[in-house]
Structures are given as structure tokens and as C-alpha cells.
Amino acid sequence: MDIKHEYVRKPVHILAKPEDIAEKVVAAGDPDRVSILAKLLEKPRLVNEHRGFLAYTGYFEGEKITVVTHGIGAPSAAIVFEELLMLGARTIVRLGSCGSFHRDLKVGDVVVPEGAAYIEGGTIGMYLGKICYPAVPDFELTELIVSKLLEENISVKKGLVFSSDAFHAEEDYIAKCMRQKMIAVEMECATLFILSRLKGFKSASALIVVNDLLRGTIIDVGAKRELEKSAGKAVLHALAEYS
């Protein structure tokens, strides 16, 4: 007997209603960072906490904005980005963290990716097969984020990053990444940028340097939280202005 099944794409992790999710979104891996961002919004409202993916929607400079947790790594992030899109998101900015390996970067700086490299296969391979697809953000939004970070007196460097799928195996790739002129390593930008191009939404990212891999220094927790506020404010300003 033939079994017929009609597959309907709908969110199963972000259990919010379409009206709960703004067209403009800031996503972060760390739920504590999302809680910090929510406090920068006017009238923030918790619209999802299912599976630990905290999501708040409120207003910044009159613009409706959602801040949401995307978890760690490409598989988790891809689920959240896809489901946000199903719910009406049209612009997603990742406010993340990274480890740097460029002499001009130190902990407390912010990297704004102009593109992201990745290893063939894994989550991205599920979407692309063997095609080596360019992982690049929206350039207008990227430049707007840079300008708003500079207005907050944050040290910013643009460049290429490496999106890793295995946090504790990254060090084996650092020397090669440096030779290939990348400046930092993180875990989700390539997935965000590629999905945005494939699915038709806008994306960009700002990454706080929490670990200087050249000098072996790690950011102080207090300093990190303060930078999350100032960088978060810059990203929110950029999203509010972007159209």
C-alpha cells in the first residue's frame, strides 16, 4: 500500500506566531546575550522559549525588532534561521563572538565579516551538495553596521572569517586560515550568509573578539557583557535605520 504524506513546512522549534516575529532580527548563540539585547528594546515581550531558543520582540527607535537565540553551530543555527524566515523575518544579523588570529586584532575588538569560508559537507552540504557557494553578507547592511559600531567607539576590523563545525578541533586549521588571509574563526556566519542568498533574505554579522589566539588572551566576562551592550546597541541602530 502506498503511503502518501504531504510535507508542510512550519516551525517546530520557534513556537511563535507570525505576528510575534519582526521582519528585522538580531540572532545570537548565547541566550544570556539575547537577554541583554532584550533589555535594550522598548516593551520587550518573550515570544518563544521552547527548546531554549529564547526570542523577544520589542521596539528600537520605533522599529519592531526580534532578538533570538540560535544556539551553537551550523545545524542549530540553520533550524532557527529557517523557522524565523517561515514566521516572516526578512533581515537577520548575527551578533556573535569569535577567536581572532590577526596581529591588528585584540580581545574587545569587533570583526565584521565580509565573507565566510567553510569546510565542504556538513550542514551546508545538505543544502548545496558539492557546489562551493559564496558565503557573503548583504554589503549595504554590513557597511551600515560598521558605521554604527564606530559611532559607539568600538574598534572594528572587516575581513574574511572561517566558520568551523567543530569548536575543539579549530586549532588544527588556524595556521592554514592565516595563510589564506582569514582573520578570525566562529561557527555560524557561513550558514547564515548562504541561507540568506538561497532563501532571499538579508544578512550580516558583527563578532566580538573574545579570544586572541595569537597572544593567548581571553576577554574578561565583565568587559564582554559591557561590549555586548554597546555592540548590540550599534547593531540595533543599524537595523532600525536599514530598509
Mean pLDDT of the chain: 95
All three cell numbers of 140: 549595504
pTM over 0.75: yes
pLDDT interval class at 9 (50, 70, 90): confident
Question: Which fold is adopted by the domain 18-241?
Answer: Rossmann fold (3.40.50)
All three cell numbers of 1: 500500500
Residue 175 amino acid letter: A
Q: pLDDT, tens digit, for every residue of 189-241?
A: 999 999 999 999 999 999 999 999 999 999 999 999 999 999 999 999 999 99
Q: Would you say residue 22 has pLDDT above 50?
A: yes
Q: Would you say residue 36 has pLDDT above 60?
A: yes
SS3 24: strand
pLDDT of residue 172: 84
Q: pLDDT, tens digit, for every residue of 53-83?
A: 999 999 999 999 999 999 999 999 999 999 9
Q: What are the residue ranges spanned by the domains of the chain?
A: 18-241
CB neighbours of residue 13 within 10 Å: 15
Q: Which of 142, 99, 107, 129 is nearest to 238 (CA)?
A: 142
Whole-angstrom CA distances from 234 to 57, 60, 79, 142, 146 are 17, 11, 26, 12, 9
Distance of alpha carbon 68 from alpha carbon 92, whole angstroms = 10
